[in-house]
Structure 1
Amino acid sequence: MQIVETLNEGLKRAYTLTVTAKDIDARVDEEVKTIAPQVRMPGFRPGKVPANLVRKMHGASLQREALDKSVRDGVEKLISENKLRPAMQPTVELTEDYEEGKDAEVKVTLEILPVVPTPSIDGLKLERLTVEVTDAQVDEAVERIASQSQRYEDAPKTAKAKTGDQVVMDFTGKVDGVAFEGGTGTGMAVAIGSGNLIPGFEEQLVGVKAGDEKTINVTFPKDYGAANLAGKDATFDLVITAVKHPSDKPADDEFAKQLGLESIEKLRELLKGQIEQEHNGLTRTFMKRRLLDQLAAGHDFEVPPGMVEAEFGQIWSQLEHEASHEEDPEAALAEMEKERDDYRKIAERRVRLGLLLSEIGQANGVEISQIEMNRLIAQAAQQYAPQDRERFVQYVQNEPMAAAQLRAPLYEDKVVDYLFEKAEITDRVVERADLEAAIESEDSDLHVHGPGCGHDHHDHDHKPAKKAAAKKPAAKAEAKAEEPAAEAKAPAKKAAAKKAAEPKAESTEAAEAPAKKPAAKKKTAKAEG
């Protein structure tokens, strides 16, 4: 095999691989020897089919397999011999259609990771803004839960229901005088004014009292879920079994027990802990942003354009999705277009910070244990249907790039924790509103932050349609995903070589790979006859 470098410009590289017909033919012979014992053909005993017949039967597929393997080996060789560190999957394509018996010429293009200057992590200074949990905050949380879990007490039998009261009833629904399926029930409770029933239903409950029988008239909405009822007029025969007033009892032990807790104090402890976690999350977000600001300010180096483009694509896709849900999507998109260059700069800085964090982690022995990795895979697998989870686990275990993407957020957190330990930290107690304002502040140069691979670890929303806050969408988009996009430096080499076996396939996202597995198996099965 001949390997010729055709481009060496910045971080871009290109090579031409020439796979000789002799090499391909030799590989076909090897494959024939491998599968021949398994091939069955009428007139021959199992495993006794002549090699020339096996070649004739499966020649085309064997040629493709041989070419794939040759290209894969060639890409591995050029990466190894040239000591390359691919930033993304190399693009591998045949320069012309392959013809059996002729040499095959393959073009390989890729971008490599830059040589990152030794990161300077000395002299980092951070301020830790903390928020204390007050009794008033806990009281507010308790009241919020109480309001969401409204309790009701039986009203006097003569009491007439009013808005806010709960009515308990038995009912029979009819269309054209005939009861319809699903329109009959007993003991249904509804709060008047809740809007939980079809329009006009709850309003007609005002004035009823326990023991009343009443028929009400309603019209199902045209977009009602059941097509046989949509837009139809209906009647409901009601028997009112109880009317209840909202309870004004304070949240007490009885209320806590309804929630499955021992006492109101246990509820307060639980809520206090939740608020503390929220505050700690805000504190970490603030510190992390300041940390990334300092790192970005002290390091500047070229980054792979392909990685920047991929990162920008993720940012832009997310913004387009969120703009589509604005009141005026067209205006939102137009506002985004004005800041396209800003978002691209954000993508570039994310990638640079990702490479920087990766370098810091590797230089200082930051690692993710196999136990931690197994836990990550198991958690991610839960997002899939039960029958697909094992396949997902196998895919991650067999695809280094997919595993790297999965581990990136945790790896970044561990690197950030390491840097927190190295930094000189001063503490200041502030109000929550002040901390939130500091996180959102544009004065703090938070337009650009850590690199991402599409995961959102912080509660930030883009608001691209609001012109008055034109810079804020950029700041929030930048803060969305701060895990290192290039953390997968070590396994990139293997992944690139593996993917290169597909001569006409360009770089593929991890999510596509599982769909390719069955195809690969099918090809093998065919070759085996």
Structure 2
Amino acid sequence: MQINQTQSDGLKQAFSVTLPFADLEQKRQARLVELGRTIRLPGFRPGKVPMSLLQKRYGSAVMAEVADESVNEATRQLLSERGLRPAMQPKVDLVSAGEDKDLEFTLELEVLPEIEVPNLGEITLTRLKAEPGDEAITQGLDNLLKSRRKEIEVTEERPAAQGDAVVVDFVGRIDGVAFEGGTAQDVPVELGGAGFIPGFAEGIDGISVGETRTIKVTFPAEYGSAELAGKDAEFEITAKGLKQFETPVADDALATELGFEDLEDLRKFIKDRLQRELDSEARQNIKRQLLDALADRISFAVPPSLSESEFTQIWNRLEEEKKAGRLDDADKDKDEDTLKAEYRAIADRRVRLGLLLAEIGQKNGITVSNEELNRAIFQHSMMYGARQQEALDMFRKNPQAAEFLRGPIFEEKVVDYVLELAKVEDKPVTAEELAAAVAADAEG
């Protein structure tokens, strides 16, 4: 095998490789001999087919197979001998091949950079520690009670009051024209509840069954539909029914009905659930701190193909958000060139951090076990509810789909490893302070 390096430009490498025809022919003859031992042709006993006939019938196909395998083998050998780690699948192009000719091909690739892992023990982080207060636990219990309340039809003639649900038909219009999605029948609207645009439920407070009202509202500027966001609208609303809610009492009997020993045991369950949510937020915050600290300590070059792939994903999502009218306020007034420059920098950062975490994991033997992957598959499939078994079958039939779950597990394990080495100081905070820190992370 003859190798000639034709490009060495940063992380971009290119080679011209020549494989002697004599070597390929030797492999072809060996493959034809092997084929002749098993092939069955009319008029010949197994193992007695003349080589000339095998050559005539199968020579070209076998040579193509040998050439393909030889190119793959030569590529692996070249990468191994030169210690090259491709960032993505190398590009291989055949230059020349054929009867009595050497096989020549070119190999182009981007290699991973040399990554120097910073001193992880020098990283200083603050872990925010929050606990749910009695008010939050009581609110959690109230939400549970609300989810178990019963609807009771109101038969007496009276105006709708706060806490009631009015069953209505409505038609929404903008500038006198009905708009898509603005018409519905038999919709329950809870007075004082959430879920409708501001002013809608307030506009039917005191309405009576059989009454029709026209109210004016304004869609929020951040409304999900760009066609409606910020627009003034009128709704013609007819009340068809009235319901009130009967909420169960929080006592030991209810707790027992729900499978708990008593009310105190139920409150403990709610507290534990809230604590898990707070711990998850704290984890999100300290992980952000860690990634920021790592990003400040690394500056190696990023393979252009990986950066471009990451940027394309980010930009496509941004375009979708823009089309739906959900673009962040911070981005709305920026021109496209500015946005692209900022998000290319974000793409570079993500790729750089991903490569660093992969390097840390590889050097320290961090892997994802099959048990961990199977557990993640099961948890992920639970999101599909009644279609859980269908999701599990999909993962079993498509192993590549399961690999998408391996990456996040690996990343979290590497983060755990680095947190063990870093200097972490615990800081007690309120749940509100923790939420504010997480919100600031999202904005940053």
Report the TM-score when normalising by structure 1: 0.60
Query: What is aligned with 1:305?
Result: 304
Matched, 1:71 2:77: no
Tell me the equivalent position of 2:427: 428
1:89 to 2:96 alignment? no
Structure 1 residue 276, shift from structure 2 partner? 1.1
- Superposed counterparts of 1:303-342, under 5 Å: 303-326=302-325, 338-342=338-342
Question: Displacement of 1:439 after TM fit?
Answer: 2.9
Two-structure CA RMSD over aligned residues (Å)? 3.9
Matches within 5 A, 1:293-442: 293-326=292-325, 338-369=338-369, 371-372=371-372, 375=375, 388-393=394-399, 406-441=405-440
Distance in 2, matches of 1:265 and 1:29, equals: 82
Offset of residue 351 of structure 1: 2.0
> Structure 1, residues 160-194: CA drift from partner, whole Å, max 9, x if none?
69864699xxxxxxxxxxxxxxxxxxxxxx88548
Closer, same or farther in 2 for the Cα pair 1:144/1:2, shift >3 Å? same
SS in 1 for 2:26: helix
Kindly provide the CA deviation profile for residues 456-494 of structure 1, in whole angstroms up to 9, marking residues without a partner as x. xxxx6xxxxxxxxxxx4xx4xxxxxxxxxxxxxxxxxxx
Alignment of 1:230-309 (within 5 A): 245-253=244-252, 255-256=254-255, 263-309=262-308
Distance in 2 (CA, whole Å) between partners of 1:81 and 1:154 is: 80
Q: Which residue identity is paired with 1:12?
A: K
Following the alignment from structure 1 to structure 2, what is the Cα–Cα distance between the partners of residues 48 and 160? 101
- Counterparts of 1:2 and 1:327 in 2: how far apart (Å)? 56
Unaligned runs of at least 5 residues, structure 1: 168-189, 195-205, 209-241, 397-401, 447-459, 461-471, 476-529
1:303 corresponds to which letter in structure 2?
V
Going from structure 1 to structure 2, the CA distance change for 1:53 and 1:162 (only over 3 Å counts) comes to farther
Q: d(CA) in 2 for partners of 1:152 and 1:134?
A: 31
Q: Secondary structure at the match of 1:105?
A: strand
For residues 230-281 of structure 1, what are the alpha-carbon distances to aligned partners after superposition, in whole Å with 9 as ceiling and x for unaligned?
xxxxxxxxxxxx9974214434455556656565444433322221111111
Change (3 A) 1:325 1:258: farther
Q: Is the 8 A contact 1:376 1:406 kept in 2?
A: yes
Q: Secondary structure at the match of 2:107?
A: strand
Provide the rounded CA distance (Å) in 2 between the counterparts of 1:320 and 1:79: 39
8 A Cα contact 2:252 2:263, kept in partner: yes
Change (3 A) 1:52 1:337: farther
Per-residue CA shift, 1:412-461, capped at 9, x if unaligned?
222222222222222222233322332343xxxx6xxxxxxxxxxxxx6x
8 Å CA contact retained: 1:311, 1:351: yes
Give 2:20's aligned residue: 20
1:127 maps to 2:126: yes
d(CA) in 1 for partners of 2:55, 2:267: 76
Call closer, same or farther: CA 1:260–1:429 in 2, change over 3 Å. Answer: same
Deviation at 1:18, TM superposition (A): 1.4
Structure 2: gaps (5+ residues) = 168-185, 191-207, 211-240, 382-387
Matches of 2:380 and 2:78, distance apart in 1: 34
Change (3 A) 1:437 1:207: closer
- Contact kept, 8 Å, 2:321 with 2:327, in 1: the verdict is no
Q: 1:66 to 1:148 in 2, by over 3 A?
A: same
Name the CA distance, whole Å, in 2 between partners of 1:84 and 1:311.
22
> What secondary structure is seen at the aligned counterpart in 2 of 1:119?
coil
Summarize the alignment of residues 148-297 of structure 1 with structure 2, pairs less than 5 Å apart.
148-153=147-152, 159=156, 164=164, 192-193=188-189, 245-253=244-252, 255-256=254-255, 263-297=262-296
* Stretch of structure 1 that moved more, 336-345 or 55-64: 55-64
**Per-residue deviation at 1:73?**
0.8
Q: Normalising by the residue count of structure 2, what TM-score does the alignment of the two structures yield?
A: 0.70
**What does residue 202 of structure 1 align with?**
none
Amino acid at match of 2:39: V
User: Could you tell which deviates more after superposition, 9-18 or 138-147?
Assistant: 138-147
How big is each residue's C-alpha offset from its partner over 1:213-241, in whole Å with a ceiling of 9 and x where there is no partner? xxxxxxxxxxxxxxxxxxxxxxxxxxxxx
* One-letter identity of the residue aligned with 1:93: D
Are the equivalent residues in 1 in contact too, given 2:165–2:242 (CA < 8 A)? Answer: yes
* Percent identity over paired residues: 36
**How far has the Cα of 1:154 moved from its partner?**
7.2
Q: What secondary structure, in the 3-state scheme, does the structure 1 residue paired with 2:436 have?
A: helix
Do 2:92 and 2:108's aligned partners in 1 also have CA atoms closer than 8 Å?
A: yes
Residue 10 of structure 2 corresponds to which residue in structure 1? 10
Distance in 1, Cα, partners of 2:359 & 2:268 = 42
Shift of 1:328: 8.3
Aligned length: 372
Q: Which protein has the bigger strand share?
A: 2
Instruction: Answer whether contact 2:146 2:247 (CA < 8 A) is retained.
Output: no
Q: Given residue 149 of structure 2, which amino acid in structure 1 is its aligned partner?
A: Q
Following superposition, the deviation at residue 21 of structure 1 comes to: 2.7
**Structure 1 position 59, deviation (Å):** 4.0
Distance 1:66 1:139, change over 3 A: same
**The residue matched to 1:339 in structure 2 has which SS?**
helix
Matched residue SS, 1:18: strand
Structure 1 distance, partners of 2:266, 2:280, is 21
User: d(CA) in 1 for partners of 2:421 and 2:353?
Assistant: 18
Instruction: Describe the shift of the 1:307–1:192 C-alpha distance in structure 2 as closer, same or farther (beyond 3 A).
Output: closer
Tell me: higher relative CO, structure 1 or 2? Use CA pairs within 8 A at least 6 residues apart: 1
The one-letter code of the counterpart of 1:73 is E
